[in-house]
Amino acid sequence: MTATPAARDRFADLLRTTALGAVILGHWTMAAVRPDDDEVLRVGNVLSDAPWLWPATWVLVLIPLFFFVGGFSNATSLERARARGRTARAWVRSRVVGLLRPVAPFVLVVLAVVGAALALGAPRTLTLTVAVVVLMPMWFVAVYTVLAVLTPTMLRLDERYGVRVPVAMALGAIAVDAVRIATDVPLTGYANYVLVWGLAQQLGFAYRDGRLLRLPRRTVAVWFVLALAAMAAAAASPLWAESMVGTAGQRSPMNPPSTLAMLHVLVQVSGVLLLRPAVVPHLDGPRAAPVLDRAAALSMRAFLWHLPVVVVLTGAWVAAGLPLPEPGSGTWWWTRPPYLAALAAALWLVLAAGDRFRRSRAGRRAAEPQALAADAG
């Protein structure tokens, strides 16, 4: 790959933070909790009550950018590891451990809380539904981990075949989706978790070594227009839903990823490339840089804990005997701003507590060698 400066790419940080932030905001906004006829709480999606919101999902579902920046990050990390003399196998091992290290405690805590809730007599169906909802976003981490394992191989293919690799992946994704539609068996489309999100990663490789940045702006604009037109045509057909978020009774364009999701990758990557020249000059300033660096450092932990915060606050609301507004109603919408503010404040407290715990543990570890030296003396 072409060498690039070692300076931090804060535009990539901005994209990662924005993508994860959009996931958090989307989950918080779309969560529709209501009692059924038996007064048992059910968790749904507000898009089922307000399907007219589907255009917002084209802009606010930023999953393609998460994997695009993942390609940039994986390529950068592997390149630096090789420069230090590490093998690709050693890099994969450390990368996987690094990705799973913050996830494992989170999953264990969720499972422990669910087990305790069931043991104390909590409603089984609701408790298990909440557990699935809380843990479902872990598919991001699972796919990202698989793509990290594949990074050395995919980088070699990229170096040898260049643009032919993402083209082949795009065509492969369309073929897999065609089989999925023809058979109406979602399992047949699961290869697209690698092909579609791997396509985003390949484009991240091309961003890392500067190939995408060297494209003429007019070329990127044509790319964006053609991809957007193709996405609009696909959404207008009866084969896929317009919304990028699946709802009851519709074939999800994301689970497994569809042709629509693949076109979404092409639209969003070209779109951010067009925005980049206007944004980058403002990211390294003395005010913006520290804020962005802090947000980037917190984004993954915020992603992990944003749904447990919803569960706790909703549980407290119900326990207090307060009524839940009907999802999609006028009351539901005007209560969203204070609701989102309360969730953001609660999440901030969780992250701050985690920071204090880490600082305390780091302080104890630093003090241990000093204590041992004093004892030895």
At 364, the pLDDT band (50, 70, 90 cuts) reads low
Locate 344 and state its tokens.
């953001």
Q: What is the DSSP letter of 213?
A: T
Indicate whether 371 belongs to any domain.
no
Indicate the number of domains in the chain.
1
Render pLDDT for 105-121 as a digit per residue (tens, 0 to 9): 889 989 999 999 889 88
- pLDDT for residue 369 is more than 70: no
Whether the CB-CB separation of 77 and 69 falls below 8 Å is answered with no
41: β partners:
35
Which residue segment(s) compose the domain that 232 sits in?
Answer: 10-334
Q: How far is CA 144 from CA 139, 153, 245, in A?
A: 8, 15, 20
Indicate whether 155 belongs to any domain.
yes
Render pLDDT for 300-337 as a digit per residue (tens, 0 to 9): 889 989 999 998 888 888 878 888 888 888 888 899 99
Q: Write down the residue that tokens 């978020």 correspond to.
A: 245
- pLDDT for residue 5 is more than 60: no
Q: For residues 64 and 261, what is the distance between their CA atoms, to the nearest angstrom?
A: 8
Indicate whether 327 belongs to any domain.
yes
How high is the pLDDT of residue 297? 85
- pLDDT for residue 355 is more than 70: yes
Indicate whether 367 belongs to any domain.
no
pTM of the entire predicted model: 0.88
Query: Which comes out higher in pLDDT, residue 149 or 311?
Result: 149
- pLDDT for residue 4 is more than 60: no
Task: Assign 78 to helix, strand or coil.
Answer: helix
Q: What is the DSSP letter of 252?
A: -
At 1, the pLDDT band (50, 70, 90 cuts) reads very low
Query: Which comes out higher in pLDDT, residue 158 or 51?
Result: 158
- Count CA within 13 A, CB hemisphere, residue 78: 26
H helices of the chain, where?
10-30, 54-60, 63-83, 88-100, 103-119, 124-135, 138-161, 164-183, 192-208, 217-236, 259-279, 288-319, 330-334, 336-376
Whether the CB-CB separation of 102 and 301 falls below 8 Å is answered with yes
Render pLDDT for 48-100 as a digit per residue (tens, 0 to 9): 777 788 888 898 899 999 999 999 999 999 999 999 999 999 999 999 999 88
Q: What is the mean predicted confidence (pLDDT) over 184-210?
A: 94
- Using left for φ > 0, alpha for ψ between -120 and 50, and beta otherwise, residue 334 falls in alpha
Indicate whether 199 belongs to any domain.
yes
Q: For residues 194 and 32, what is the distance between their CA atoms, to the nearest angstrom?
A: 30
Residue 87 sits at φ, ψ, to 5 deg, of: -80, 160
Indicate whether 98 belongs to any domain.
yes
At 363, the pLDDT band (50, 70, 90 cuts) reads low
Whether the CB-CB separation of 257 and 240 falls below 8 Å is answered with no
Q: For residues 294 and 331, what is the distance between their CA atoms, to the nearest angstrom?
A: 35
Rg for the chain, CA atoms, rounded: 23
Quote the mean pLDDT of the chain. 87
Q: For residues 65 and 361, what is the distance between their CA atoms, to the nearest angstrom?
A: 34
Nearest to 8 by CA among 68, 73, 103, 63: 73
Give the amino acid at 193. Y
Indicate whether 244 belongs to any domain.
yes
Q: Write down the residue that tokens 């992990």 correspond to.
A: 304
Indicate whether 4 belongs to any domain.
no
44: β partners:
32
